[in-house]
Amino acid sequence: MKIAFRQQATNFDCAPTSIINALKYLFARKDIPPYVLQRIYKDCLDIEAFRGTSSGAMHDIAHWLNAYREQRFKQFAVRVQFIRGKQVHLRPNSKILRCIEERGAALLCVHASKRTWHYITCIHAEEDWLYCYDPAPLSTRTIIADCVECIVDARGQQPNLRIRTGWLERKIGKDSSPDECIYVFGNHEHRECLLLNRIF
């Protein structure tokens, strides 16, 4: 049984919620060890001053998930890769696109504003669109004509958002408006992504 994606509980837990949504996409409910969920929440919410999840925590949870095996949950084996900087792109040799093509899930770190970041789970690519699940409540601010669209009737494990690849690849300049910043990777020095594939 596959379990429906869920929204984040606060304004700060998009990263652990997105990781768990990715695991729910990759595995049946009975195959996910409860301890894995505990560890994700424990390790990810590590920034005390501003709340949220640091790059270091995402890097560390990737290593931990790669190594985790539990005898009672033999089906649970996942390959996780943390990429950053110039590795995060959507050109033909993209690690993100390869992960999705191999039936994986890519956690994209996108801008929510000029100075804040947000994790969403990408599960499908079609033509020049990426189909994602955003764990934050969506609003009319989310809609950017021809570039970012809400999928209002999404259910279960269906994406609730689609974003044009060209829009995601945008960089952010000093004069960028708030609407030009949302759902973009931004400048290379701030880009990061977590790639998850099930090991069959």
pLDDT in tens, 140-188: 556 777 899 999 889 999 999 999 999 999 988 888 887 788 999 999 9
Question: According to the model, what pLDDT value does residue 45 have?
Answer: 87
Phi and psi of 19, rounded to 5°?
A: -65, -45
Tokens representing 27 are 């595995």
Predicted confidence at residue 50, as pLDDT, reads 62
Buried-state track 102-114, b at ≥16 Cβ within 10 A, e below 16: eebbbbbbbbbee
- Residue 49: pLDDT band by 50, 70, 90 thresholds? low
**Which residues sit opposite 192 in a β-bridge?**
84
- Which pLDDT score is estimated for 112? 86
Mean pLDDT across the chain, nearest whole number? 92
Per-residue model confidence as pLDDT tens digits over 97-137: 999 999 999 999 999 887 789 999 999 999 999 999 999 98
Residue 53 pLDDT class (50, 70, 90 cuts): very high
Two tokens, residue 55:
């790059």
In percent, the amount of the chain with pLDDT more than 90 equals: 78
- pLDDT tens for 57-97 read 999 999 999 999 999 999 999 999 999 999 999 998 999 99
